[in-house]
Each structure stands twice: as structure tokens, then as C-alpha cells.
Amino acid sequence: MHKTFEMNLPKLIEHFHSDEKCRSYLEAMRWPKGIACPRCGATTISLIQKRDQFDCNSCRYQFSVTAGTIFHDSKLPLWKWFLAAYIMTESKKGVSANQMKRMLSVSYKTAWYLCHRIRAAMKEGTVRPLSGVVEVDETYIGGRRKGVGQGSRRHKTMVVGAVERGGRVSLRVDKRATKKTLHAFVNAVDSDNAEAIYTDEWKGYRGIGDENTRHETVNHSEEEWVRADVHTNTVEGVWSLFKRSIVGSYHQLSAKHLDSYLDEMAWRFNNRDNPYLFRDTLVRLVGAETLEYKELIS
Ligand SMILES: [Zn+2]
């Protein structure tokens, strides 16, 4: 039962159709060496069967497997959390709160809050710098009104991204595409020994290479898109997926939450070949800090 397995919908239903099953899976995940009191660390614990709670024999603290975790929500059954996490990991373009509301039969507010908490758990902390060949590009999100076309960049939010060929993506919201912001981003996400950085010819990228890392550009303004293996098609593919997800799933996206949508996108992209993505997302959820509703709407 607690073995790792690749997830699909029939398996999800088979293994996690009840709160009891979800709870015992979380217990194994949270306490692989046996249940420990979250308050004092003692391992002599009694079970209060009726309330799905544990009682610490040392300090008498009563707790459940979700105590102190992001799962702690008195209203939402655990199996709906599991289902939501599965849906979000499996949907390449993401899922809107409205769609989640319909799929889980919960209120819009519950669905919205749930999606944001799962998204928050997907945020990756310190990660290995990108190496090898890295494509870097920037794009502009939002600010477009119906029938007005592209609109002015002044009303949009810039997102800058770097993708390691065959590897990970790093995405960040930044103020403006200046030489300073672009260079700072690349320095933060790229390994000093990256083999190459490929960008378009935008002057903000000038001087981004050094003796260890060559910098090559494709001249989009002169309709040059690919020169041998020099192109930025991978990172542009990330933009197009993200923009389709905004249009299709999220409808409107406030700049405030843009970072967390980028985290969600990066989590899926960086785990695109991970057969245990569902399990690994649950691991994140077990380890994630609680996120208050009022923090999200402040
Ligand atoms: Zn205790």
C-alpha cells in the first residue's frame, strides 16, 4: 500500500477513495519511522480511534496526521485534497478555480483557496543552477483588453525565463527588461560554467556571456529564428503553454499571484518525466507551511 507507484485515475480511486486510506498514506509519509509527537517528539503514542487522532503519552498533546500541515482544513475531506493535487499535477495547462469547484463539488472560495495552497507547495526552494545550453527570454503577461490587441507593455508584467536544454526551467516576475534585471536573473539561475546562453538580439542581453560561457543570439528582427542549434524555441514553448493556460484556465491573473502560477508551471515542467509526480507533490504538501486565506487576499 505505501509503495511508490505511478498514478493514474483508476489507481487514485482504488487507493484513495476514502479519508481513512488517505490518512494512513499521509501517516506513512510523515512518520516513516513511526508516529512521533509534533510537540515533544515522543514516540509512545495512543490512538483515539473515534476522532482519527493521536494522544502523546508524554505530553498528552492530541493531534491528527494533518496537524500543523497545509492539509489541516476542518471542512475539506482529505480525499478531495488528493484528487485536487492529482488534477493539478496532470493538467498541463492548469485548472481554474471554477473548474476545480465543479469537479470537486465545493464552493468557489474553497476551490480557489485549495488551488492556491497546492500551488504554494509546488514552489521549489534552492535548486541546482542551470547548466549546459541555456535559453533565456522574456515575455509580457496581462494588460490586454478585449479588441485592443497587444496593448502597451507599460500595463503588462514582465516574466523572464531560462530553460536548460533537456532540463529545468526557472521563471521570475521582474519589473523591466533592462540590462541590469536580465543580467541579475541570468547570474542567479545559471551555473558559472554553463556551456552557452542563447537569447534573441535584444540589447539587454549584451555581454551576458564570459570566458566560460559563450553567448549566441538569433536575430528575430531579421526573421532569423534558428541558426544550427542556436534558437530559443524551448523557452518560447514554455511561454506559449503558460499563455494558453492563462487564457484557457485562469481567465484573469492578478500580478500578485503571477509568481505562484509560474511556480506551478515550473513544477510541472521540471517534473515532466517524473513518474512519481503525484507522490512527490503530496510529499511537498506534507512538508509545506500552512497558508492562511487572509494572507492570500491581503
Ligand atoms: Zn508530546
Q: What is the pLDDT of residues 108-159, one digit of tens each?
A: 999 999 999 999 999 987 788 999 999 999 998 876 544 444 556 667 889 9
Residue 227 is classified by DSSP as B
Distance 31 CA to ligand 1 centre (A): 14
- pLDDT exceeds cutoff 80 at 25: yes
Task: Confirm whether pTM is higher than 0.85.
Answer: yes
Distance 16 CA to ligand 1 centre (A): 29
Kind and range of the H or E element at 214? Answer: strand 214-218
Distance 34 CA to ligand 1 centre (A): 14
DSSP of 94-114: ---HHHHHHHHT--HHHHHHH
Distance 55 CA to ligand 1 centre (A): 8
Distance 60 CA to ligand 1 centre (A): 6
Distance 54 CA to ligand 1 centre (A): 10
**Residue 232: what are its φ and ψ, rounded to 5°?**
-120, 30
**Residue 145: what are its φ and ψ, rounded to 5°?**
-100, 155
Distance 266 CA to ligand 1 centre (A): 38
Distance 56 CA to ligand 1 centre (A): 5
Q: What is the pLDDT of residues 77-91, one digit of tens each?
A: 999 999 999 999 999
**3-class secondary-structure state, position 26:** helix
Distance 43 CA to ligand 1 centre (A): 8
